[in-house]
Amino acid sequence: MVRNVLFLCTGNSARSILAEAYLNWAGRGRFYAHSAGSHPGGKVNPFALELLQRKGIPTDGLHSKSWDVFAKPGAPNLDFVFTVCDNAAGEVCPLWPGRPIKGHWGVPDPAAVQGSDEEKRKAFLDAFNRLSSRIDAFLKTQ
């Protein structure tokens, strides 16, 4: 049985996208990951896409979307919902179909980093490393 996981962030452009893509790659056949934001920015951060592509992780279909999509009738039943930013963790979330297990994996926002492109790439790599470590640990328990 493939289980559905939703990763939430405010803008759904960086951390939640990285987590969605990595879990779909690392947990293929066992999990189907989704991501969404409480206030989506409407586009995926190009540094997130660049990092995923460098790591050989598929980026097809990744897009910024509202968490409302997953609270509507016909949405997939969710088994797990993880917030990956502190802002989203503090917001009142919709009622999710499937009565999922919820958790919070706070990770600093790489999209908020100011500086050179290399500094931004490092911030995205740091966020990816934190998320992939947590996802790897999660996969070992499931």
pLDDT at 93: 65
pLDDT at 142: 84
Residue 48 to residue 74: CA distance in whole angstroms: 29
Residue 64 to residue 18: CA distance in whole angstroms: 12
**19 close to 33: Cβ distance less than 8 angstroms:** yes
Catalytic residue among 21, 85, 89, 135: 85
Helices (H), the chain: 15-26, 46-54, 86-89, 117-141
Q: Which domain holds residue 86?
A: 3-141
Cα–Cα distances (Å) from 103 to 19, 41, 95, 116, in that order, read 14, 23, 15, 33
Q: 92 pLDDT exceeds 70? A: no
Catalytic residue among 71, 93, 113, 125: 93
To the query of whether residue 112 is one of the catalytic residues in this protein, the response is no
Q: How much is the mean pLDDT over the chain?
A: 91
pLDDT at 139: 96
To the query of whether residue 9 is one of the catalytic residues in this protein, the response is yes
Over residues 85-92, the mean pLDDT reads 61
- Counting the structural domains of the chain, the total is 1
pLDDT at 72: 85
CATH number at residue 30: 3.40.50.2300
